[in-house]
Structure formats: C-alpha cells, structure tokens
Amino acid sequence: NMGTVRDQVYFARGLLLEFGFAATRGVLRDNPLGSQTFVFAPSGRSGNYFVDLARSTTRQQWMAGVFFPVLQARGSHRFRAGVDLQRSTFAQMAVRHDYLVLRSDQTTARRVSFIGDGRLSRRNLESALYVQDGWAPRDGILFELGVRADWDQIVRTVLISPRVAASWSPSFAKDTKIAAGFGVFGDAMSLEMLTRHQDQLVLTSFFPRDGLSAGRDLMVGFIVDEGALKVPRARTTTLSIERMLPYGFHGRVS
C-alpha cells in the first residue's frame, strides 16, 4: 500500500514552499499447506516447506523545501533548500521445522533444525538537510552546486555528500547540450539485513553413509558489530551530449 500528499504554496517575487508526506506498507505471508517434514532428495522434493513466515514493513517520509527568488549576482542564482525525515520499520516472524537431505539410496545425509523463536524487528529514523544553487553566469551555461547532510539512528554519523553539475549549450552548435556532473550518494540501510543476528540459529547434523558411526553437528548464526557499520556510498561521475536530430529525433550519448 502507498499513499502520498503534496502541496506547493507560491508567494510574491517567486518564493515557493513545498511540503509532502508519503507512506508505504508492505506485507508478505508465506504459509505452507502442512507440517510434514520437508525432504530434499535426488529424485525431487516432498513434504511441506519448512518456513511459515509473516513479514511487515512500513515507511513514512516527511519533506519540506523552499525555492528562493532569483538573485542577480554575476549572473542569476536560484537557491533551494530542504529537509527530509524518514521513519522505517521491519518486523518478521518465522516458524521453521526440521528438513532432511537424503542420498540416492534414501539414507539421511543431514538433518537441519532451528533454535530460537524467529522473531525479528528493527526501526530506523533518518534525516537529511540539503542546499543547492543553480547559477547561470550567462545564457547557455548553468552550474548546479549542492551539498547534502544525512544522519540516521543506527550509524549515528553525519555524512556530507557534495554534488556538482554543469551544462553548456554552445552557440556555434545549435540544439546541442553538453552536461557533466559528479556526486556522492548514500544508500538506505537494509533493516532486513540488520536483523539477521536476531534470527534463529541453524543446527545441521551430518550422518555418515554407514549409519553406524557417530555424525557431527554444525551450528550457524549471524552476529553484527553495529559500532563498525557504515552507510553504503557511491561516487558517480556523468558526461553526456544531447542533440536534436532531423525528423524530430532526439539523440543522446552518455
């Protein structure tokens, strides 16, 4: 489910205020048809799938921005600033039962069991502040300079992301635009990944083929050191050339 509300208010001299809110909610339900032991065998699979899962995710976003009147100073400047707040949640309940892996002679190669209640939950609050200037020193040339600061409740580090772009429409090449840009962008934290350590432990029991000697067990789980977490970030550089072509075609190389 998704819903959005957005409004803009115009004032004298070109001042513009913008407000918005968006909310999304997702639900995933994976319900097996029974509780029979799930079996992997060379001839195929049988029984009922071993995971009964219910997952819920929500996200609310509030944003506000202001477009300032055009300022004349060695060309025209159009400043813009804004804030962005986001709240996201993740919850999951997984009930798992044992499953078996068989050999071609139908003897048991391993049994997998799960320890724990399978209940996961996490929430995060993210905030951002940005400012941007669109500077046109003369006709045909535009520079966009901006910076964004992000903070979230999990990493708790202020991340500064600069961005710069330029476009040029040369007078000697009609209907042509050359543009270039560079920016640092952060990615959203995956709450599903950050709850892995809350999930069940996996106990795998291995059985020898003779069925007489003792097997061995292996337990697997996840741990997380939140003090060492970093927000995924990317540095992006772009260059493009656009031109209007005959017969109404538009060409672009980037």
Residue 173 binned pLDDT confidence (cut-offs 50, 70, 90): confident
Residue 170 to residue 97: CA distance in whole angstroms: 68
Q: How much is the pLDDT for 110?
A: 92
Q: How much is the pLDDT for 252?
A: 95
pLDDT over 90 percentage in the chain: 80
Q: What is the DSSP letter of 116?
A: S
Query: Quick one: 74 exposed, middle or buried, by C-beta within 10 A (0-12, 13-18, 19+)?
Result: exposed
Tell me if residue 17 falls in helix, strand or coil: strand
Would you state the structure tokens that stand for residue 81, as one six-digit string? Answer: 């600033």
Alpha-carbon torsion, ordered 137, 142, 143, 144, to 10 deg: 130
| Reported pTM | 0.81
